[in-house]
Amino acid sequence: MADAAKNKSTTAPKAASSRSNQQTFLIAVIGAVALVAIVLVLVSARGGQSSFGEAFFAEIPYERLEDGGYVIGDPEARITIVEFFDWYCPSCQQFKPTIDQVITEYVKTGRARYEMRSLPTAGANANPNTTQVANLLECVEEQKPGSYAFASEVAYELVRTGTTGANFSQGIADRTGTDFAQLLRCSQEATQSEADVRLARSLGVSSTPTVLYRIDGGAPQPISDRSFAGISTLIETFE
């Protein structure tokens, strides 16, 4: 009887230890599954795409319009998708995966063009504010022609990560390979943001993102359905 009691007392801790190890393992598994779920949600929120790298834009033709507006895409494409955006605008951040898909499937392949216009809305009082960001990007373009689209990607990323002030400007310079001091000097005299605002006012545009289209370089027209399916149908109608 004493031996049985002894055996029971020595095996009980082992059983308890085994249960503890199993619980620890299950907690670890649950934690890993939760982490994967969070990552999937974040990827889904970005539309399954990360920001485009500089090399992505290297082979896409670009030009400046008469008023200085930035356009990427084949000059022979009939339709141009025009977007008024603010890097700080939450709705613009949410819409970006859609416009990224348009760029990937239609602009990169020469079937459409994309015209970029900044308009201060959510970032009017940010640091740096929307106009200052636009001025910095204009100066990136002056130092490295054809870099505006990539610089805009960098600006979106810096906003998402909460970068502000001088760190924002330095981040733009570092990521685009431009001279920081020259960038700051140039940004004091940049004027493209003013041209974008004038165009917005002439079209009655006051919010971001606003998406329009041009046919054969004509005046911008409103898009009733700015979903990817709606934009795709529009582009394919005028190809």
Exposed / middle / buried, residue 89 (Cβ in 10 Å: 0-12, 13-18, 19+): buried
65 and 38 belong to one structural domain: no
pLDDT of residue 51: 66
Q: What residues have CB less than 8 Å from 4, skipping those under 6 apart?
A: none
* Domains contained in the chain, number: 2
16 and 110 belong to one structural domain: no
Q: What proportion of the chain, given as a percentage, has pLDDT over 90?
A: 77
pLDDT of residue 72: 98
How far is Cα 112 from Cα 205, in angstroms, rounded to an integer? 22
11 and 107 belong to one structural domain: no
For 131, the domain range is 54-237
Strand partners, 127: none
Strand partners, 82: 115, 212
- For the cut 80, the answer to whether the pLDDT of residue 105 exceeds it is yes
Q: The CATH number of the domain where 120 resides is what?
A: 3.40.30.10
20 and 74 belong to one structural domain: no
pLDDT tier at 23, thresholds 50, 70, 90: low
38 and 102 belong to one structural domain: no
pLDDT of residue 104: 97
120 and 171 belong to one structural domain: yes
228 in Cβ contact with 102 (< 8 Å): yes
Q: pTM of the entire structure?
A: 0.79
21 and 113 belong to one structural domain: no
104 and 196 belong to one structural domain: yes
Q: What is the average per-residue pLDDT within 210-224?
A: 96
163 and 191 belong to one structural domain: yes
- For the cut 60, the answer to whether the pLDDT of residue 40 exceeds it is no
- For the cut 80, the answer to whether the pLDDT of residue 7 exceeds it is no
pLDDT tier at 37, thresholds 50, 70, 90: very low
Q: What is the average per-residue pLDDT within 207-223?
A: 97
36 and 119 belong to one structural domain: no
Question: Could you check whether the bond before residue 209 is cis, i.e. omega within 30 degrees of 0?
Answer: yes
93 and 41 belong to one structural domain: no
102 and 208 belong to one structural domain: yes
Helix, strand or coil, per DSSP, at residue 60: coil
- For the chain, what's the residue count? 239
